Amino acid sequence: MTSKMIRALVFILAFSIAGYAMVQYGVLQASDAGLVSFKLQKPDFELQPWVYVLYIHIFTAIFALIIGPFQLFIKPTHARRRWHRLLGYGYVFSIVVSGIVSVYLSLFATGGWISGLGFMLLGVLWIATTLTATRKIMAKDVQAHKVWMLRSYALTFAAVTLRIWLAPLAFVLGDFEAAFRVVAWLCWIPNLLVMEAVISRMRLRQL
């Protein structure tokens, strides 16, 4: 698969999952439809402020998911640099907010401490890689900034890979909670491993 095809696939998957989430949590009103009861075991999302906590996480994550490909794949020429910077601020802000909320929500994840720990580590690493990328560009280390942003988006893309893995796992294991424990780790660890391989290949090309 060529790099252009991979980039197109990332765009398609990111926008597809973003659209799906907006319909699920916006149009269908997930708290009323019972669409989150299988993901989070304790909070009553009919009550405030729980519904606001969930929606803050969902919609800030959606913003980061759809902004990421533009930031990574479209070269910030002089004319586009201002937009790249502004969208970058939005990306970082969204991840910091969504990441903090996701760490909190991980305490209530279906599947107990195994899935909770997986999602908590995802949230912490998501924030850490993004802030590291921000620190690198503030130090004018453009190459390191790109590398850390690739890692950041690999974790952002967990929103996509979670939904790709979950249904097949639930079918194979025959138990949703067991599948959720696995997907809490499977949605982001392979993403990071693949991205590290991509980064290593990029570095070899520069030698």
3-state secondary structure labels for all residues of 146-166: HHHHHHHHHHHCHHHHHHHHH
183 contacts: CB under 8 Å, gap ≥ 6: 115, 162, 165, 166, 169
Look at residues 56, 17, 51 and name the one whose alpha carbon lies nearest to residue 33. Answer: 51
11-23 pLDDT, tens digit each = 999 999 988 887 7
Tell me the pTM: 0.88
Q: What is the pLDDT of residue 33?
A: 42
pLDDT band per the 50, 70, 90 thresholds, residue 204: confident
In angstroms, the Cα distances linking 180 to 84, 91, 115, 162 are 36, 27, 7, 9
Contact by Cβ (8 Å): 157, 191: yes
Number of domains in the chain: 1
Cα separation, 202 vs 206, in Å, equals 7
Domain that holds residue 31: 3-206
Instruction: Name, of 47-51, 56-60, 143-147, the range with top average pLDDT.
Output: 143-147
Cα separation, 189 vs 78, in Å, equals 35
170-185 pLDDT, tens digit each = 999 998 889 999 999 9
Q: What is the pLDDT of residue 50?
A: 63
| Of 19-28, 36-45, 105-114, minimum mean pLDDT range | 36-45
Please determine, for residue 43, whether its predicted confidence score (pLDDT) is greater than 70.
Answer: no
Question: Backbone phi, then psi, for 193, in 5-degree steps?
Answer: -65, -45
Percent of the chain with pLDDT over 90: 58
